[in-house]
């Protein structure tokens, strides 16, 4: 395999552990509706599936109308906006990986399904010290993963070839987006894997059980 020249990362569940703040928002929504605290592992497993999945779990809306779920999704996001910097941290090993990329002057950046109104402030607060060269959100391309448009924009702005670029994420939609963009793919098995899912079934080119394992590619 040729040397990788661009490392693109998903955000939630790959670079940042945002689950504690989503858990806070879910429980606030549950409490406001007379429900007891939810299950953290259930919330953690749903973060990469998006706010609609979290809202559906929070208020037991799995079989309700999309309109009802959307209403409470917006409600959940309003709560999340007020707490999104409380407990979010960088995953163990990520700091080392990003420092190595910067020290070796290897291109990298972030492509996320998180709306820019949330992603920009969180990235600045938690990852600003690493000076991410780019942050691409659905707002920028008008589509969400598994659509590859965000990754195609990443390749364009970094002047990178797909065959020499990798996308790393913790959900099968990340791998699907990477494949559609003809990039190398990496599964962040330490992230928010949905319950009863298995990263080995995603057919990614690489599987990283810990963030620090990404160093093995950089070293090569």
Residues forming the active site = 10, 12
Which residue in 161, 118, 114, 153 sits closest to 134, CA to CA?
153
The sheet with strand 165-169 has its strands ordered as: 135-136, 107-111, 6-9, 165-169, 184-188, 206-208
Nearest residue to 212 (alpha-carbon basis) of 107, 92, 90, 88 = 92
Residue linked to tokens 């998180």: 114
Query: What does each C-alpha distance from 74 to 48, 160, 171, 202 come to in angstroms?
Result: 17, 36, 23, 30
Return the half-sphere exposure (C-beta side, CA atoms, 13 A cut-off) of residue 51. Answer: 20
DSSP 12: B
Residue with tokens 């991410």: 132
The total number of residues shown for the chain amounts to 220
Q: Which residue has the tokens 């979010």?
A: 88
């Amino acid at each position: 395999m040729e040397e990788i020249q661009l490392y693109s990362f998903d955000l939630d569940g790959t670079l940042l552990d945002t689950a504690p703040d989503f858990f806070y928002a879910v429980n606030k929504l549950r409490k406001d509706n007379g429900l007891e605290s939810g299950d953290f592992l259930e919330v953690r497993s749903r973060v990469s599936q998006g706010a609609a999945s979290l809202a559906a779990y929070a208020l037991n809306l799995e079989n309700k109308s999309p309109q009802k779920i959307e209403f409470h999704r917006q409600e959940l996001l309003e709560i999340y906006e007020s707490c999104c910097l409380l407990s979010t941290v960088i995953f163990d090993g990520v700091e080392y990986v990003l420092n190595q990329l910067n020290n070796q002057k290897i291109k990298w950046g972030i492509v996320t399904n998180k709306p820019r109104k949330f992603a920009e402030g969180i990235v600045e607060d938690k990852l600003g010290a690493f000076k991410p060269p780019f942050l691409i959100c659905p707002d920028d391309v008008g589509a969400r993963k598994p659509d590859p448009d965000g990754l195609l924009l990443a390749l364009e702005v970094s002047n990178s070839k797909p065959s020499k670029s990798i996308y790393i994420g913790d959900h099968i939609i990340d791998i699907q987006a990477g494949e559609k963009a003809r990039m190398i793919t990496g599964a962040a098995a330490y992230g928010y894997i949905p319950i009863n899912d298995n990263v080995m079934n995603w057919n990614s080119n690489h599987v990283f059980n810990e963030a620090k394992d990404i160093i093995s590619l950089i070293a090569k």
